[in-house]
Structure 1
Amino acid sequence: MSDAAPEEAGTSPEQRPEPMVVVEGLHRTYGGGATAVHALRGVSFTVPRGRLTAVRGRSGSGKTTLLNLVGGLDTPDDGTVTVDGTALADLTGEQLLELRRDRVGFVFQGFGLLPVLTAAENVGVPLRLRRAPTAEREERVALLLSLVGLADHAAQRPGELSGGQQQRVALARALANRPRLLLADEPTGQLDADTGLAVMELLRAVVRSEGVTALVATHDEALLGLADEVLELTDGRVRQGREPLPGAGTLAL
């Protein structure tokens, strides 16, 4: 099974960059006995650097569990997760917090914006947490709001923005600390089809412009064609193979 990005002409295996994410033999079960839920059953794959990889699967297939494990928000029962060359199992609780703060950005279906803060203030929250200088914070916030097309909405609060605009603010916030890995869990799940497509196109553009690696969970077939690779989960297992998917490119696992 090969899950690396397609090899470029003239690039030897020694010259290819180390994958951003390496998952090996991942198992996660919730509960026990007859009611146990086997969310993941021996999942293994890699995510190439600088690419947008979609995790495809129906509700309950294990997508959210997988992203939580990759982001260090949960611990596997068995198996390993390596992010940016760092094995998560080797980290202390404080080191995991630092990794999530400095190297991983999160975008959730529910936006997760603070309603009392403006769009600019929401984007600036991660920078405040690491006590970035005011001038640096304001410059970065202005750049990111411009990047997601919301420069004219900086002073508005979430309740004054549409769902698509709120998700754009959430994306800008996730990029505030210049993460190397962006994890997005059903980022278009609460949006209509056209707005969801626009957000996914923006996410792809951000991957290119910011040099970020993105792992995006979605069940929306229309969005898969925007991904560089598609990984499919079915009942907690990886679907292996390289056959084309409807509306998408090659299945690379």
Structure 2
Amino acid sequence: MTENASAQSGAALAGDPSREPMVRVENLHHSYGTGTGAVAVHALRGASFDIRRGELVALKGRSGSGKTTLLHLIGGLDSPDRGRIVLDGTDLSELGENQLLELRRDRIGFIFQSFGLIPILTAAENVGVPLRLRRADPHERDERVALLLALVGLADQAPQRPAELSGGQQQRVAIARALANRPALLLADEPTGQLDAQTGLAVMELLRAVVRSEGVTALVATHDPQLLGLADRVLELSDGEVIER
């Protein structure tokens, strides 16, 4: 989507918060290696696009094209050199570090290729970590954990530790954990990268199902063409710009 197209879309939605996109990215620029003696690498060069509420959007691009950088910027883990990111009506550039921390904790769920589970905790305890950080009521926490493990098909694996689970099961636990705080947005960075093709497809189908059942929006970075067909839309990151396919 071009910058002009994004602006026109914003004008059409103005005044109607229910129709505003969940994510709006406007003219985003980000570079690495701009210090003394370093050669700048331009990861993003004016990227602009919207993600509507309730969509599952796939982000494709070759290795090193900037997919992870873009996810980190949208998730408030890094700041752009130039441009604007609006998440659920909130301009990230206007938030301080504590506000960004609260946003990541309460409104965004992260899913990583490496699963990121805590080895000494059970599946149920891993899913419950975000709720403990929020000091949720223990009864409410236990109910939410049980619901999510059932949602991802792992109710019987609740007492097992990560080492006792397959890769696909570990990623399912990671998905359940990302949903614990009822986020508005899921950001997934190559979530099937460590899985075989069949397991990866099952995990992507699960992601699509939980997006529908939990009413969340998801942006999934992947290079697997088999998974792209499960998305509502596909965005391609090429030469620092985002193009809809």
Instruction: Write the mapping of 1:34-113 to structure 2, written as runs, cut at 5 A.
Output: 35-113=39-117
Residue identity over aligned pairs, in percent, reads 74
Q: 1 CA distance for matches of 2:127 and 2:243?
A: 37
- What are the superposed Cα offsets for residues 120-176 of structure 1, whole Å, 9 maximum, x if unpaired? 000000000000011000000000000000000000000110000000000000000
2:30 aligned to which of 18, 28, 33: 28
User: For residue 224 of structure 2, what is the aligned residue in structure 1?
Assistant: 220
- What are the superposed Cα offsets for residues 178-199 of structure 1, whole Å, 9 maximum, x if unpaired? 0000000000000000000000
- What are the superposed Cα offsets for residues 101-130 of structure 1, whole Å, 9 maximum, x if unpaired? 110000000000000000000000000000
Q: By how many angstroms is 1:35 displaced?
A: 2.3
User: For residue 192 of structure 1, what is the aligned residue in structure 2?
Assistant: 196
User: For residue 165 of structure 2, what is the aligned residue in structure 1?
Assistant: 161
**SS of aligned partner of 1:25:** strand
Q: 2 CA distance for matches of 1:239 and 1:211?
A: 26
Q: 2 CA distance for matches of 1:141 and 1:171?
A: 12
Point out the structure with the larger helix share.
2
User: For residue 239 of structure 1, what is the aligned residue in structure 2?
Assistant: 243
- Report how many aligned residue pairs link the two structures: 234
**SS of aligned partner of 1:117:** coil
User: For residue 9 of structure 2, what is the aligned residue in structure 1?
Assistant: none
CA contact (8 A) 1:60 1:235 kept: no
**SS of aligned partner of 2:84:** strand
CA contact (8 A) 1:52 1:215 kept: yes
Relative to the length of structure 1, the TM-score reads 0.89
Q: 2 CA distance for matches of 1:162 and 1:235?
A: 37
- What are the superposed Cα offsets for residues 187-229 of structure 1, whole Å, 9 maximum, x if unpaired? 0000000000000000000000000000000011110000001
Q: 2 CA distance for matches of 1:93 and 1:61?
A: 27
Q: By how many angstroms is 1:34 displaced?
A: 6.0
**SS of aligned partner of 1:226:** coil
User: For residue 246 of structure 1, what is the aligned residue in structure 2?
Assistant: none
Relative to the length of structure 2, the TM-score reads 0.92
CA contact (8 A) 1:23 1:43 kept: yes
CA contact (8 A) 2:187 2:220 kept: yes
Q: 1 CA distance for matches of 2:58 and 2:214?
A: 18
The ranges of structure 1 where at least 4 consecutive aligned residues each deviate by more than 4 angstroms after the TM superposition are 12-16
Letter in 1 for 2:42: H
CA contact (8 A) 2:23 2:52 kept: yes
2:181 maps to 1:177: yes
CA contact (8 A) 2:48 2:241 kept: no
2:146 maps to 1:145: no
CA contact (8 A) 1:53 1:230 kept: yes
Letter in 2 for 1:186: E
| RMSD of aligned alpha carbons | 1.6
